[in-house]
Amino acid sequence: MSLPLHDADAARQDWQATVIAIDLALAAPGSLGGVVLSGRHGPVRDALLARIARHHRIERLAAGSADEALEQGLDVAGTLGAGRAVRRRTVLERLDADPGAVLLIIGAERLSTRAGSRLARWLDDGDRRVPVVALDEGDESSPDAPAFIESALGERLAMHVRLPELTLAELQAHSGEALLGGALLPAPDDALAAAGDERYGAANGPSNRTPRHPAAPDRPEPRPDVPDERIRELVHLAHALGIRSARAPVAALAATRELASLNGHSPATLDDSALAARLVLAPRAAQRPDAEPAPADPGEEHAEADPANDPASDPASDPANASVAEPSAEPETAQRPETDTPAPTGEHDPDPSVREDTPASDADAPAPMNEPSAQALPERLVAAVSAALPPNLLGSLASDLGRTGRTPGRRGNGATRAVRGRPAGVTRPRSGDHGRRLDIVATLKAAVPWQRLRTPTDGPAAGSTSGQARLAVRPSDFRVRRHVQPLRTTTVFIVDASGSAAMHRIGEAKGALEAVLAECYVRRDRVALISFRGAGATLELPPTRSLARARRALVGLAAGGGTPIAAGLDLASDVLDDIVRNGERAVGIIMSDGRANVARNGLGGRPAAQADAEHAAERLAGVGARLLFVDTAPRPRPIAAQLAARMRARYLPLPSRGGAQALPGLLAAAAPDAGRAPA
């Protein structure tokens, strides 16, 4: 990141990988779709774009105006002028007519779902002669927006690279070097020329650009073979990285083939597939390749039914089951790739019980079955991928938690009937639309087609002074502006501050909370804090956006006394219910050991307290908030898991003694900024 740590070698390799990714995208839009460059605007990006522009016309599509640019429509002014229908051509129509072009999407992470899916459809259906270069300016450390890579369009663009961080001097040197002949490849242009790839368009200038027809019958020379072994490795690797989509390995295979073709290899070598894996698979990784338990016998892969896939894997019953079925094998003793990614918050402890205890969410978290382990994969492949893994990937526990803290976040439609928020086009007014602004231009546009039908007879226009020049506007023409207001999320922490919890690790819990608070602040979410101890529960902090207040409440959190879980959960129900009723999303994070000893009536006694707690948990389940139960007990017991199941919360035991200090780090994985700050 920062200069003192600047690694010139790594930067050069990154640069080369980026250049290759772009060349691949330009050479084979048909099978690869395109490339995503993530990173901020800057000289590096400019240099790369200039490289593309030397041989291709660049058609720009800015995220902000994408919806309109993609919409077919009638050019009203043109139609009236010409006396016949004049259609406005969409960007895609222009591109289809000009195969030498490149579609450059600026600010891809801000592309609306609508525009994104329109483009995805275009990639699916069209001839795909036009490569897409998407510039993703999203801040990857901010969990706010969903990552572009997970969107419908991002999914279909094979290569994703982070812009290399180069100094200016390096940029000059490398861009020269890469053009004259890099280490990994001959100079890209020469390579393409050497490969006789007529689809690329003959070398110089736009004048003699030849259209490329990947799907045309006169297909180019036979593509290099990719040995079965390579395919198997790529599929294994994708699985080991926790990549669910089948598109990723397919794209990785296509990229391998293209790379082999560019490099003049046939059949494709491990170098080709390693680089393809780095460009295609690594950025999509959901977990580290070595993050899974070793298989009993990696050589044996039967097409057996996967037990974990069985409908019987009811999430509610999962935690109990899973804690029994701990894998006996100690994972990853051997075979950690040498070029380990520097984990931002220190090494996580690969405690198998912890990972296994995390209940699998609906579809993610691949089940440990005929496991493709890191062992089964060539070290070079794993090393190549490890070097390019997303930085905040700590392991399945962290990513699982990260998800919990994040998926209830900001995805979805938001309220389109809002009167404030981001503008989202115009619409006809509907009943009950109060306070919405009239869009004059859109209204006039809507009225124009009717003029010839309206003028001859009645209407206010006819009665007005100089009828001819006026536009007859009727109520049906009115258009109002639409706004999208994202749903606000409020996260409520329900913290067990009883004596037993304090003994254990209230301090760690505080640290973890602070990390999550910072994350909420980044997302402009609100937070609230409830603590319970002694005889009852207190709302320490009503929902607020103020990070400072939240910190103060947290620091001042007193601990000691009995454990009135029922009271805490009851108060949580009230607070969360309020939030849900206000039309916001509510997330509750409960941190406790789940062992109640104070009942609702304030009296002690375990059985009664536990019964009350379960009752309160059921009530909480009905509120409609997303819940996460973090078990703070040093030795998690089924009782907490049961309680979590009652409230239908996701259950997460804290790592046992050894890994306890990892908690803040793990939570911080959801908010890498906060985690990294002290370092």
Partner 1 sequence: MSRPVFPFTAIVGQQSMILALELSAVDAGIGGVLVLGDRGTGKTTAMRALAALLPPISVNEGCRFQCDPGTPAQWCDACRAREPQPAAVERPTPVIDLPLGASEDRVTGALDIERALTLGEKAFEPGLLADAHRGFLYVDEVNLLEDHLVDLLLDVAVSGINVVERDGLSIRHAARFLLIGSGNPEEGELRPQLLDRFGLSIDVDTPDDIDERMLIVRRRDAFERDPEGFVAQWAAEDAAVRERILMGRTWLDRVTVSDQALRRITELCLALGTDGLRGELTLLRAARALAALEQAEQLDESHIIRVAPMALRHRLRRDPLDDTGSQLRVQRAIDTLGLAA
Would you say 141 or 407 has its CB closer to partner 1?
407
DSSP labels, 468-523: GGS----GGG--EEEEEEPPPEEEEEEEE-SHHHHHHHHHHHHHHHHHHHHHHHHT
> From the list 97, 202, 203, 215, which residue makes contact with partner 1 (rule: CB under 8 A)?
215
Nearest of 311, 358, 321, 367 to residue 649 by alpha carbon = 358
Q: Tell which one of 10, 49, 145, 152 touches partner 1 (CB under 8 A).
A: 152
For the bound state, the minimum distance from the C-beta of residue 644 to partner 1, rounded and expressed in Å, comes to 12
> 594 and 638 in contact (C-beta within 8 Å)?
no
Taking the least distance from each CB to partner 1, the nearer of 85 and 324 is 85
Tokens of 642: 């049961």
Q: Which of 407, 485, 538, 661 touches partner 1 by CB under 8 A?
A: 407
Interface pattern 229-248 for partner 1 (x via CB under 8 A): --xx-xxx-xx----xxxxx
The answer to whether residue 276 forms part of the interface with partner 1 (CB under 8 A) is: no
Instruction: Kindly state whether residue 412 participates in binding partner 1, applying the rule CB under 8 A.
Output: yes
Site for partner 1 in 95-114 (CB under 8 A): 113-114
Q: Is 448 in the site for partner 1 (CB under 8 A)?
A: yes
Contacts with partner 1, 641-660, as mask; x by CB under 8 A: -------x------------
Give the amino acid at 188.
P
Amino acid at 355: R
423 binds partner 1 (CB under 8 A): no
Residues of span 312-331 touching partner 1 by CB under 8 A: 312, 314-316
CB of 245 to partner 1, least distance (A): 3
> Is residue 118 close enough to count as binding partner 1 by CB under 8 A?
yes
Give the whole-angstrom CA distance, residue 485 versus residue 436: 14
Mention every residue, 6+ apart, whose C-beta is less than 8 A from residue 125.
none
Q: Count residues contacting partner 1 (CB under 8 A)?
A: 83
Question: Shortest gap between Cβ of 343 and partner 1 (angstroms)?
Answer: 26
Q: At what angle do helices 638-646 and 606-621 cross, to 10 degrees?
A: 40
Residue 582 in the binding site for partner 1 (CB under 8 A)? no
Rounded CA gap, 148 and 130, in Å? 20
Give the tokens for residue 193. 């020329």
Q: Using CB under 8 A, pick the residue from 16, 18, 31, 489 that binds partner 1.
A: 31
Segment lying near partner 1 (by CB under 8 A), choices 45-53, 130-138, 358-366, 657-665: 358-366
Residue 517 or 627: the one with the smaller Cβ distance to partner 1 is 627
Element (H, E) at 74: strand 73-74
Q: Strand locations in 609-670, DSSP E?
A: 626-631, 650-653
Q: Say how far apart CA 645 and CA 443 lie, in whole Å.
A: 54
Q: Which is nearer to partner 1, 94 or 551 (CB)?
A: 94
Q: Using the minimum distance from each CB to partner 1, give the nearer residue, 451 or 656.
A: 451
Binding mask 48-67 for partner 1 (x = CB under 8 A): -------------------x
User: Partners of 60 in the beta sheet?
Assistant: 104
Q: Output Rg (C-alpha) for the chain, integer angstroms.
A: 29
C-beta separation of 373 from 246 below 8 A: no
